[in-house]
Structure 1
């Protein structure tokens, strides 16, 4: 992600000690019987060394930030999309009334992730909810690292029973790990968990093969 911070000076000369950019998301936190939503900082950087801005001076400070591998995707077609990612810019400046700015970012899924989602939807499922939750994921030979994970919830309404699929992704270099929780209403077997790994350039047949036990 590349951009710039645009600063305009006020009526007097001012010392700016730092510009801090935080990549934030909102996570769901469950504790006891309550649910709350809290800001979680995925990554941050300081964009510039201290400097002085003159009255009415305009200055642009460029920045570049590599998105964390576990940054949630926001461009999803969920009926209830609770996934938000934004950049919070803060000026370290004395006596400022409001030294912060918030800019939302659209994060699109990788091609292989889009095809996994599309395959599930083509099998008759609807993405009913997408959110970001506090905690860690663990699958077969992989685990998350950031302290949050995204969950996409799909549901189909079968003639006899309803099937729910909760899907999470973890990007790891040239591959993406997928963890799936399957819940069937009226099923005696309880929730089932499956995990699989796909290369970023996975073919349609590889995606279909990985999803067959999930949506079959």
Structure 2
């Protein structure tokens, strides 16, 4: 009985570990994993198992801003099982990352972007055991080329973070409840009066939408957008498009 009481507060309870085939992924990519559950000191009934794709988001408030964890998507494995003390259960798992998963692998002066997979056991009469696996998320070809174009146009990626909310434009809308902002600043002064350019991306299967926020001196902020077709990614063309839009 004493061991059951301890397990109910997480001491000696079952533990879970998700082992990913690779932690290096792209938004929208399928991934494979194995979920390993190790029994604790007493027999426990596990009524469910959840995996969640998580990120850290900035939330604006009247008192400024703060950061909190955000669930981008969640997968539930409804399998119920009883795990005996010392037993090990292995469950294969595969899923696809949300296409709007924020990019973590950026050469930014200040990168606040974090993405991970969190695994939790729903154990009757016990605290959830949880496991966190950090992901390294790389840009798709359209986003990578867009970032190269900004470099060529004389802008430096100063900061990257993820904000809570949705992006909306006439031709697209985000769905994940958060969006990443890449904050660019001109290398030399303010080109064409531009003090800052913020890029946000909404990737889809065959195209990536780009929302651009321009901060110009002596003028209010303005928003423009463009769409890059994945089978027509061309650095010089994207350079020309961005240059026309930013000017």
The answer to whether the Cα contact below 8 Å between 2:58 and 2:161 also exists between their aligned partners in 1 is yes
Alignment gaps of 5+ in structure 2:
1-30
Alignment gaps of 5+ in structure 1:
none
Mapped to 2, the partners of 1:123 and 1:212 lie a distance apart of: 7
Mapped to 2, the partners of 1:183 and 1:101 lie a distance apart of: 41
Mapped to 2, the partners of 1:157 and 1:205 lie a distance apart of: 20
The answer to whether the Cα contact below 8 Å between 1:123 and 1:215 also exists between their aligned partners in 2 is no
Please give the TM-score of this superposition, normalised by the length of structure 1: 0.90
- Superposition map of 1:63-82 within 5 A: 63-82=93-112
Mapped to 2, the partners of 1:110 and 1:148 lie a distance apart of: 18
Q: Which residue of 1 aligns with 2:83?
A: 53
- Residues 29-50 of structure 1 show CA distances to partners (whole Å, capped at 9, x for unaligned) of 1011321111111111113500
The answer to whether the Cα contact below 8 Å between 1:134 and 1:149 also exists between their aligned partners in 2 is yes
Check 1:68–1:112 CA distance in 2 against 1; reply closer, same or farther (3 A cut): same
Q: Is 1:91 aligned to 2:121, yes or no? A: yes
3-state DSSP of counterpart to 1:65? strand
Q: Is 1:37 aligned to 2:37, yes or no? A: no
Mapped to 2, the partners of 1:177 and 1:56 lie a distance apart of: 50
Please give the TM-score of this superposition, normalised by the length of structure 2: 0.80
The answer to whether the Cα contact below 8 Å between 2:145 and 2:234 also exists between their aligned partners in 1 is no
The answer to whether the Cα contact below 8 Å between 2:104 and 2:114 also exists between their aligned partners in 1 is yes
Mapped to 2, the partners of 1:211 and 1:31 lie a distance apart of: 32
Which of the numbers 167, 173, 192 marks the counterpart of 1:137?
167
Q: Which runs of 4+ in 1 moved over 6 A?
A: none
Q: Which residue of 1 aligns with 2:243?
A: 212
Q: Which residue of 2 aligns with 1:183?
A: 215
Mapped to 2, the partners of 1:206 and 1:115 lie a distance apart of: 10
Q: Which moved more, 1:21-30 or 1:40-49?
A: 40-49
Q: Which residue of 1 aligns with 2:11?
A: none
**Number of residue-to-residue matches in the alignment:** 214
3-state DSSP of counterpart to 2:239? helix
Check 1:177–1:47 CA distance in 2 against 1; reply closer, same or farther (3 A cut): same
Provide the aligned C-alpha RMSD in A: 1.9
Q: Which residue of 2 aligns with 1:120?
A: 150
- Residues 84-138 of structure 1 show CA distances to partners (whole Å, capped at 9, x for unaligned) of 1111111111354561111111111101111111111232221111111112212
Mapped to 2, the partners of 1:140 and 1:213 lie a distance apart of: 19
